[in-house]
């Protein structure tokens, strides 16, 4: 059984991953603070979710925390930074 390396909640300034781009509410930044399942389990469920912090023009430049479905959390955004745990969990080679 694979362990969820991102199962502990992190603080905003130490997110597991950061995504940026133009979202439906304008310029968007999403920080991944916790995952509830491993990637294998996430792919099996349309209800898999992450704890994220999101900042857009609609949040007046402040981050709002909450759960988001993994298939919607970062749609259209680009991964700009990630931790070693994120790289290992999602099989990304850290450069």
Q: What is the pLDDT of residues 39-73, one digit of tens each?
A: 999 999 999 999 999 999 899 989 999 999 998 99
Q: Among 29, 33, 34, which residue's Cα sits nearest to residue 19?
A: 29
What average pLDDT does the segment 6-30 reach? 95
Does an H or E element contain 60, and which?
Answer: none
Q: What is the pLDDT of residue 94?
A: 62
Whether the CB-CB separation of 36 and 50 falls below 8 Å is answered with: yes
15 compared with 95, residue with greater pLDDT:
15
Whether the CB-CB separation of 44 and 26 falls below 8 Å is answered with: no
Please give the mean pLDDT across all residues of the chain. Answer: 93
């Amino acid at each position: 059984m694979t362990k969820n390396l991102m199962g502990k909640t992190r603080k905003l300034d130490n997110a597991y991953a950061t995504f940026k781009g133009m979202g439906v509410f304008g310029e968007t930044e999403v920080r991944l603070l916790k995952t509830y399942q491993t990637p294998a389990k996430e792919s099996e469920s349309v209800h898999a979710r992450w704890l994220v912090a999101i900042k857009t023009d609609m949040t007046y430049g402040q981050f709002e925390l909450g759960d988001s479905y993994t298939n919607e959390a970062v749609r259209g955004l680009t991964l700009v930074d990630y931790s070693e745990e994120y790289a290992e969990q999602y099989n990304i080679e850290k450069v």
